[in-house]
Amino acid sequence: MDDTFLIIPGYGGSGPAHWQSRWQQADPRFRRVEQRDWWRPVCSEWVAALEQAVAASGPHTVLVAHSLGCGLVAHWAAQTRLTIRAAMLVAPPDPEGPAAQLGIDGFVPVPDLPLAFPSLLVASSNDPFSSLEHAHGAAQRWGSRWANIGAAGHINGDSGLDDWPQGRALLQSLLD
């Protein structure tokens, strides 16, 4: 059975220059989990949307989360009974650091439970929304493999990554 990839954007929804949007455009196996309001995230609503998307896509689902989407995956994983194949968690923000100013309702505290599926957390050494220490700590608490890709900002559209081939290779390493 082929994997289904669910794109899980963070705050603002990942615009057209974002690698998540580029992956979705390039490969029909990638589908976006839509949220009612990308600019006023409510954790319980976002969790419900993710639960519905995973239920529809089945156990061969691979989550590809960015930024606040990583916190969403942690909240979802702490509540769901559904199973997935794996998750790639890219640039998780520190919700008690600079991201706290964004008005993210219900995302704090982020669950500290080990995830019940293989995961890879990818971080940047100069992410304005998270320190390497915060990201590495999240990887340890979630039981995720860890990848520091160096100075790549928030690993988003502003980072100039285009299709981010390094990210596709990291995703493939998670699945191999």
The pTM of the whole model exceeds 0.85: yes
CA dihedral 83, 120, 16, 10 (to 10 degrees): 70
Query: Within a 13 Å sphere around the CA of 144, how many CA atoms are in the beta-carbon half?
Result: 29
Region of 79 (left: φ > 0; alpha: ψ -120 to 50; beta: rest) is: alpha
Q: In the predicted model, is pLDDT for residue 119 greater than 90?
A: yes
Place of tokens 């992956």: 23
- 154: three-class secondary structure by DSSP: coil
Q: Is the pLDDT of residue 11 over 80?
A: yes
Tally of domains in the chain:
1
Question: pLDDT at residue 66 above 70?
Answer: yes
> First and final CA of the chain: distance in angstroms?
15
Give the CATH number for residue 12.
3.40.50.1820
Q: Assign 96 a pLDDT band (cuts: 50, 70, 90).
A: confident
Q: What is the mean pLDDT of residues 125-143?
A: 95
Q: Compute the mean pLDDT over every residue in the chain, rounded to the nearest whole number.
A: 94
The torsion of the CA quartet 3, 87, 65, 16, rounded to 10 degrees, works out to -30
Q: Which pLDDT does position 100 carry in this prediction?
A: 67
Q: What is the pLDDT at residue 109?
A: 87
Percentage of the chain modeled with pLDDT above 90: 86
CA dist 129 and 163 (Å) reads 22
Number of helices (H), then strands (E), in the chain: 5, 6
pLDDT of residue 165: 95
Residue type, 28: P
Domain housing 95 = 4-175
Q: Is the pLDDT of residue 125 over 90?
A: yes
DSSP notation for 53-122: HHHHH-TTEEEEEETHHHHHHHHHHHH-----SEEEEE----TTTGGGGG--BT--SPP-PPPSS-EEEE
Q: What is the pLDDT of residue 1?
A: 57
Query: What crossing angle do the helices spanning 43-57 and 68-79 adopt, rounded to 10°?
Result: 70
Per-residue pLDDT at 44 exceeds 90: yes
Partners of 29 in beta bridges: none
